[in-house]
């Protein structure tokens, strides 16, 4: 069924709603300058998303090209009920994930050594310094977001991507499951294990914080 004109209109209450409406009208009219404007406005943020997922400058640029091609191809399907930047963000994520899947499969390091260890009696065996009650607060206070990103990059891809999509890119569990082709329970399990592993990697840096 064809979409009504109202269904294709950008929500005017959304940030950039007026700008999006004008830009979309130009894009749908085939205005070549509008495509250049869209790349200039959204390209940087989309490239940053691709870099976080792919960890490769060249692969990220390739994914960005894939994302814009997909966006232009699916522009008639964009209902306009969300910000244009939000729609493009999802497309950039999917393009990066497709690039990630297309890489030659390699054996991943196990995440098990980074998970909490317990002795035969079931007591927690901390591999390093004592666990802090709230490492996130300490990290914010010490402005160590770059450290967090570096530790995330040390996780196996299967767990790193789940953590990135949920905790960095802001997708909910269902969206993450759909993007990765996983069940919701599998996403929840990987996210839990990824967060545990990240905490283990961060703990040595929090000593004395």
Confidence band of 1 (pLDDT split at 50, 70, 90): very low
DSSP character string of 18-42: HHHHHHHHHHHTT-HHHHHHHHHHH
Q: pLDDT (tens digit, 9 = 90+) per residue, 68-97?
A: 999 999 998 887 778 899 999 999 999 999
Sorting pLDDT into bands at 50, 70 and 90, what band is 111?
low
100 has pLDDT over 80: yes
3-state secondary structure at position 163: helix
Tell me what pLDDT residue 11 has: 47
Q: 3-class SS at 100?
A: helix
Class of domain 17-102 as given by CATH: mainly alpha
Per-residue three-class SS string for 132-173: CCCHHHHHHHCCCHHHHHHHHHCCCHHHHHHHHHHHHCCCCH
As its CATH architecture, domain 124-206 has Orthogonal Bundle (1.10)
The CATH 1.10.10.10 domain(s) of the chain lie at: 124-206
Calpha distance 2→191 (Å, rounded): 39
37 falls in which pLDDT band (50, 70, 90)? very high
At residue 10, does pLDDT exceed 60?
no
pLDDT reading at 175 higher than 60: yes
Residues pairing with 167 in the sheet: none
Where in the sequence of the chain do the CATH 1.10.1740.10 domains occur?
17-102
The answer to which of 15-19, 39-43, 160-164 has the lowest mean pLDDT is: 15-19
């Amino acid at each position: 069924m064809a979409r009504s004109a109202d269904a294709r209109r950008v929500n005017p209450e959304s940030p950039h709603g007026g700008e999006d409406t004008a830009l979309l009208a130009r894009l749908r009219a085939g205005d070549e300058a509008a495509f250049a404007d869209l790349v200039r406005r959204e390209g940087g943020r989309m490239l940053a998303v691709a870099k976080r997922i792919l960890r490769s400058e060249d692969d990220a640029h390739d994914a960005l090209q894939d994302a814009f091609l997909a966006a232009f191809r699916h522009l008639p399907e964009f209902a306009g009920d969300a910000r244009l930047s939000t729609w493009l963000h999802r497309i950039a994520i999917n393009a990066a994930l497709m690039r990630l899947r297309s890489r030659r499969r390699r054996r991943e390091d196990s995440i098990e050594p980074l998970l909490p260890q317990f002795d035969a009696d079931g007591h927690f065996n901390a591999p390093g310094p004592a666990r802090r009650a709230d490492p996130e607060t300490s990290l914010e206070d010490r402005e160590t977001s770059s450290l967090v990103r570096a530790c995330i990059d040390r996780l196996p891809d299967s767990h790193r991507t789940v953590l990135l999509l949920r905790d960095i890119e802001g997708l909910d569990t269902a969206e993450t499951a759909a993007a990765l082709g996983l069940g919701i329970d599998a996403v929840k399990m990987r996210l839990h294990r990824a967060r545990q592993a990240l905490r283990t990697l961060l703990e040595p840096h929090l000593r004395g914080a």
